[in-house]
Amino acid sequence: MLSTLGRCRGITRKEIVLVLLIAAALTIYVSSLVRHRMNDALQDQASADLERIASALHQYKLDNLRYPSPDQGLFALLESPALEPLPANWSGPYVNRASLLRDPWKRDYLYHSSDSPPSFSLSTLGADGEPGGTEANSDIVVKFHSDADY
């Protein structure tokens, strides 16, 4: 009776290696997709943050007839500045949380402003924190330049 049943064959080493290679390839592919989506989401968040901050800066200017000075910085959107030039009609806070003033990579957004003509620029240097770059490392910049001089 043993001869009719034959011999049971187990899993070979080749088959185990093949399954592991397929699993590793799928893991690498899926992780690269997730990383790419995560980078896109962080870039989108930074762009949305900069637009919200720009809107807050415009509201600050409507109330105070100027943008916060570079020395006052973006913190002037949270609390009335103690540094000159003091805002005459500060009606803030103009943003709802301090964390909005930091990019998704936990660095402060860069802010520059000018009085004549009124203008500002907001930026982040991307994931690497270095100027330039591509994809997740690319800089995001929002600039506003008024034609009117107040």
Residue 92 pLDDT greater than 90, yes or no: no
* DSSP per-residue string spanning 49-109: HHHHHHHHHHHHHHHHSSPPPTTT-GGGGTS--SSSSPPTT----SSS-GGGGB-TTS-BP
Are 66 and 81 a contacting pair, CB within 8 Å?
no
Position 150 confidence tier, pLDDT thresholds 50, 70, 90: very low
Are 101 and 53 a contacting pair, CB within 8 Å?
yes
pLDDT at 132: 84
Which residues pair with residue 119 across a beta bridge?
114, 145
Are 117 and 102 a contacting pair, CB within 8 Å?
no
Residue 148 pLDDT greater than 80, yes or no: no
Asked whether the whole model's pTM tops 0.85, one would answer no
Q: For residue 113, give both structure tokens.
A: 């402003």
Instruction: Give pLDDT tens digits for 48-88.
Output: 999 999 999 999 999 999 999 999 999 999 999 999 999 98
Tokens 């415009």 — which residue? 58
Q: For residue 49, give both structure tokens.
A: 């943050």
- The radius of gyration of the chain from alpha carbons, rounded to an integer in Å, stands at 27
Stretch 38-43: mean pLDDT: 91
Residue 1 pLDDT greater than 50, yes or no: no
Q: How far apart are CA 106 and CA 101, in angstroms?
A: 9
Position 45 confidence tier, pLDDT thresholds 50, 70, 90: very high
Instruction: Give pLDDT tens digits for 111-145.
Output: 999 887 889 999 999 888 888 888 888 899 999 98
Q: Top-level CATH class of 13-145?
A: alpha beta
Name, in order, each residue with C-beta under 8 angstroms of 112's C-beta and a sequence gap of 6 or more: 70, 120, 121
Residue 11 pLDDT greater than 90, yes or no: no
